[in-house]
Structure 1
Amino acid sequence: MRQLSANELDEICWKHISSLPYFRGMLRAVEHSLYARFDIPGPILDIGAGDGHFAGAYLTGQQCLGVDPWWQPLQEAASRKVYTLLVQADGSALPLSERSFAYAISNSVLEHIPHVQQVLNEVGRAMAPGGMFYFAVPNQRFRTDLWGMQILNALKLHGLASRYERFFNRIARHVNLDPPEVWLERLRAAGFSRVEYWHYFPKWALQMLERGHAAGLPNLLWKKTLGKWVLFPARSNPFLHYRKIRKLLDDPLCEDGTCTFYAARRDA
């Protein structure tokens, strides 16, 4: 990982905080700062392009093929004009020849996919020997470190705490909230035996994100009626929490982080 300058981190933070609800922007800014620490020149295969927001903020001119199974977000991604090509396809059936990409990314996507092993196998098939696959996912602490769950457990309402955790992660459509040991086994089966990983996003940040889902309801209204998440994008806007989030980017890694970033090398 290379070090990023203060100006680079300022730019990364503002790209996300100024255009997303702060709780989503916070996580995306941290993830962006992790990808930016690696040399990923492209062409890049992006598994789970979504609406293209992340690629629009992260890409700096690299050629990139975006893949997503859903048509509506792909239309929004196309409007951003950051992808070289967009393809509607399931990640378990990529319309690509073997060994076609040296770089692949997948940002906060794999945790949502029930058939994740099939998707990883396809990524492995599409990657050239020695190619690098970078991805970010929440880990098992997304189940145990939730603020609402800890409050309910402290009140000895353990049944409610368990139901709260299941509700939160069902709303978030999380399927695979797993520790590194599980991901390492999946990656080995897909042809990636050399893997490094780092935990990030401390508990306080997760709990800030968690509470932000309620505080961010006005953002949803603005998006539906005015077409943008943030009405007043200014660093001085107290509702954006810019300073606190920007400080998080200075030192994003932590051993007990609630998310994990992986760098996996395709076997020869």
Structure 2
Amino acid sequence: MSDDLLWRHLRELPYFRALLRAAEAGFVGDVHLPRPRLDLGAGDGHFASVVFKDGVDLGVDPDGASLAEADHRGCYRLLIRSFGGRLPIGDERVASAVSNSVLEHIPEIEPVLSEIGRVLRSGAPFVFTVPNPAFPDHLAAPPILARLGFPRLAEAYRAWFVRVVRHWNMLDESEWGRRLEAAGLKVETTFRYFPPASLHALEWGHYLGVPCLLPRAVFGRWILVPARWNLWLTERFLRRYHHPSPCADGTYSFYLARKV
């Protein structure tokens, strides 16, 4: 995708989310996903509204408030409130599926993968992005704490941060391959992205982004003034960490699997 994806996310999201989503939008947008198209974990619909200019046929998410926001964006033909382990869709009814930074938040992932395998047609692509095992290893704070003489605190912080971001599935390529194969899917392409420096910017953003909670709570918007003059300093800072290309030391992974 040739659009300025970083800016399109930054003008509506806290900067740490914008940084990650901008990279993912480019990867997902470069894959042809035929219709009818399923978005598993649609959330507030922002990602889909940026990536899929022709819209999405079906969005599924368990959170009603997020679905209401997604509906307001107008990029979904149909939105359903449901958990991924029991999709209200017939067998082999979907021509493609996408799940962006969602599967890591689901403790019991096998039923979800099985459902995706069930609803996809033969040969249909399934694209998803997830953090990988490098994520906790490359957090910024633990090495600092260890150098200061607090190794136990460093490990405690690492475990705490992973809990805060609810990353239950940070699997490597071989493990994802096994689990997908059990669901009738085969990995066609995978690569890592989002290097440690970008992860550090994301990590600190969880703290620096706290002021965004106020306009979100009062006005329903993360960014009150989505203008470049208002966000130019943030954008300038983020550009050095915007890395929209695969990299060997990436802390997130992109997968393109296909229904066998």
TM-score strictly above 0.5: yes
Number of residue pairs the alignment of both structures matches: 259
**What pairs with 1:54-73 in structure 2 (closer than 5 Å)?**
54-73=47-66
Q: Deviations over 1:45-69 (max 9, x none)?
A: 1111111111122221144200111
Residue 248 (structure 2) aligns with: 255
Residue 145 (structure 2) aligns with: 152
SS in structure 2 opposite 1:130?
coil
SS in structure 2 opposite 1:129?
coil
Structure 1 residue 238 displacement after superposition: 4.0
Letter of the 2:15 partner, please give it. Answer: Y
Matching of residue 240 in structure 1 with residue 228 in structure 2: no
Letter of the 2:138 partner, please give it. Answer: D
Which whole-Å CA distance do the structure 1 matches of 2:241 and 2:32 have between them? 23
Structure 1 residue 138 displacement after superposition: 0.8
TM-score, normalization by structure 1: 0.91
Matching of residue 23 in structure 1 with residue 12 in structure 2: no
Residue 206 (structure 1) aligns with: 199
Structure 1 residue 40 displacement after superposition: 1.8
Q: Check whether the contact 2:177–2:187 (CA below 8 A) recurs between aligned residues.
A: no
Residue 225 (structure 1) aligns with: 218
Residue 79 (structure 1) aligns with: 72
Letter of the 1:146 partner, please give it. Answer: L
Q: Check whether the contact 1:42–1:62 (CA below 8 A) recurs between aligned residues.
A: no
Which whole-Å CA distance do the structure 2 matches of 1:193 and 1:40 have between them? 16
SS in structure 1 opposite 2:99?
strand
Which whole-Å CA distance do the structure 2 matches of 1:143 and 1:207 have between them? 11
Q: Check whether the contact 2:9–2:21 (CA below 8 A) recurs between aligned residues.
A: yes
Structure 2: give runs of 5+ residues left out of the alignment: none
TM-score, normalization by structure 2: 0.94
Identity of aligned residues (%): 41
Q: Deviations over 1:53-110 (max 9, x none)?
A: 1112222114420011122211111121110100111111111111111100000100
Residue 116 (structure 2) aligns with: 123
SS in structure 2 opposite 1:128?
coil
The ranges of structure 1 where at least 4 consecutive aligned residues each deviate by more than 6 angstroms after the TM superposition are none
**What pairs with 1:142-221 in structure 2 (closer than 5 Å)?**
142-221=135-214
Q: Check whether the contact 1:235–1:242 (CA below 8 A) recurs between aligned residues.
A: no
